[in-house]
Structure 1
Amino acid sequence: MKHVMLLAAAAALSLAACEKKAATPEAAAPETAAAPEVVAPGNAAAPVNAAPAAAAGPIEPTPAAATTPNSTEALITGVTLTDLYQVQAGKIAEEKGQSPAVKEFGKSMVTDHPAMTNQMKHLFVATKVKPPTELGARGKGMIAALNAASPADFDKLYLQQQQAAQQAELDLLKGYAEGGESADIKPAAAKAVPRVQAHLDKVHELQVAMK
């Protein structure tokens, strides 16, 4: 009899446990959580994966210290990175370009862009800004895309990159010429504007010819 009572009690406890489990709905699948922002060491206010506040030309985000509109650091960073990109991209266009006009334009970028920037470099020396010496992730990605492009797609991709690059640099130079920090560098930026505008006009001309 005692054994029967123990079995009955155990069955009752088991039934109660099952009823309790049934009464508790399964937890809904949590929504996908956003990846936590990784904070840069020594700068709790600046998340590493936050979107950049501005772009230094078409190639890379500006350093945090260069986000002031028309700052000298933004100008130096922007034109230097653009030159690095233009030389590398121009050499690829000379080799992979399908039309003689694209090949010739690429060749001109290899010489014209550094020549234009060299006219300002002596002014940059007076600042304490250290120009970049190599492309960052964005610029390297653009170069990689050109290297990977098929012959049929190359000219179109190159000209698309050029349109964005030339327009961004034109905006950068115009902005600095009008309201830049350095009265010494502003005239040099203004002097470079017509040449970059001519490059952009040529890109548009080549794009129209492709249609």
Structure 2
Amino acid sequence: MKKLSFAVMIALSALAFQACNNAAKDSKDSADSVNAVKDTTTTGATGIAVDEKDAKFATDVANAGMAEVALGKIAAEKATNPQVKDFGSMMVMDHSKANEELAAIAKTKNITLPVAPDEEHQKKAADISAKAGKAFDEAYVDAMVDGHKKVAAMLEDGSKNCKDTDLMAFATKTLPVVKAHLAKIEAIQKSMK
């Protein structure tokens, strides 16, 4: 009996270790994988109400939005430049609102969204957070310019190419806000040089 218990414990340990090794996928990759296997011909618990490209658009935008909020919180606390600090606060407020709107749409469409920014965004946040003073402000501003250009391009594409009307409307509504953020952060960047 002791040998059997020991064997079962070793097997369970091996399974747990294997499960930990498979955790390499980040939240966004996991959400994309879940959405990819959902049936697009039905809705409900097993189906998804949008095609795979629209679901990927939703996960990409959610990922970027969560990253903006996370970095915004850091900038609101850590930035030394008052404009950068205020911009960080605005990111938290505006992107939290957009994230909530997207989550509500995703729920009605049975789209699984990531629960945290992907590894790339987390690494970028850690790299920026490690800086202090003017170096932090500059790194944050550079990341926001780059990030907002990418998100604006995503939303531009979504506003034209999403097949789902709710996602298309979300992209169309959110795009001017992101473009305004981009203009503001580019002006801050210019003023810092």
Note whether the superposition's TM-score is higher than 0.5. yes
Question: What SS does the aligned partner of 1:185 have?
Answer: helix
Q: Offset of 1:136 from its aligned partner?
A: 2.3
Structure 2 distance, partners of 1:72, 1:205, is 33
* Corresponding position of 2:116: 134
**1:100-151 C-alpha deviation (Å, 9 max, x unpaired):** 0000000111111111232333322222321000122111101101211132
Moved more, 161-170 or 179-188: 179-188
Count of residue pairs brought into register by the alignment: 152
Check if 1:77 corresponds to 2:84.
Answer: no
Check if 1:187 corresponds to 2:169.
Answer: yes
* Corresponding position of 1:115: 97
Question: What SS does the aligned partner of 2:147 have?
Answer: helix
* Corresponding position of 1:148: 130
Check if 1:177 corresponds to 2:153.
Answer: no
Counterpart AA for 1:143: A
5+ residue gaps in structure 1?
Answer: 1-59
Counterpart AA for 2:126: A
Q: Offset of 1:204 from its aligned partner?
A: 0.5
Larger-gyration structure (1/2): 1
Say what the alpha-carbon RMSD is for the aligned residues: 2.5
Contact kept, 8 Å, 2:66 with 2:95, in 1: the verdict is: no
Counterpart AA for 1:100: P
Which has a greater percent of helix? Answer: 2
Moved more, 121-130 or 169-178: 121-130
**1:66-122 C-alpha deviation (Å, 9 max, x unpaired):** 9xx992112211121122211211111112111100000001111111112323333
**1:139-169 C-alpha deviation (Å, 9 max, x unpaired):** 1101101211132311110011101111111
Counterpart AA for 2:140: Y
TM-score, normalised via structure 2 length: 0.71
Between 1 and 2, higher relative CO (CA 8 Å, sep ≥ 6) is seen in 2
Structure 2 distance, partners of 1:91, 1:114, is 11
* Corresponding position of 1:199: 181
5+ residue gaps in structure 2?
Answer: 1-27, 38-50
Contact kept, 8 Å, 1:72 with 1:182, in 2: the verdict is: yes
Contact kept, 8 Å, 2:68 with 2:92, in 1: the verdict is: yes
TM-score, normalised via structure 1 length: 0.65
Contact kept, 8 Å, 1:173 with 1:192, in 2: the verdict is: yes
Contact kept, 8 Å, 1:83 with 1:113, in 2: the verdict is: yes
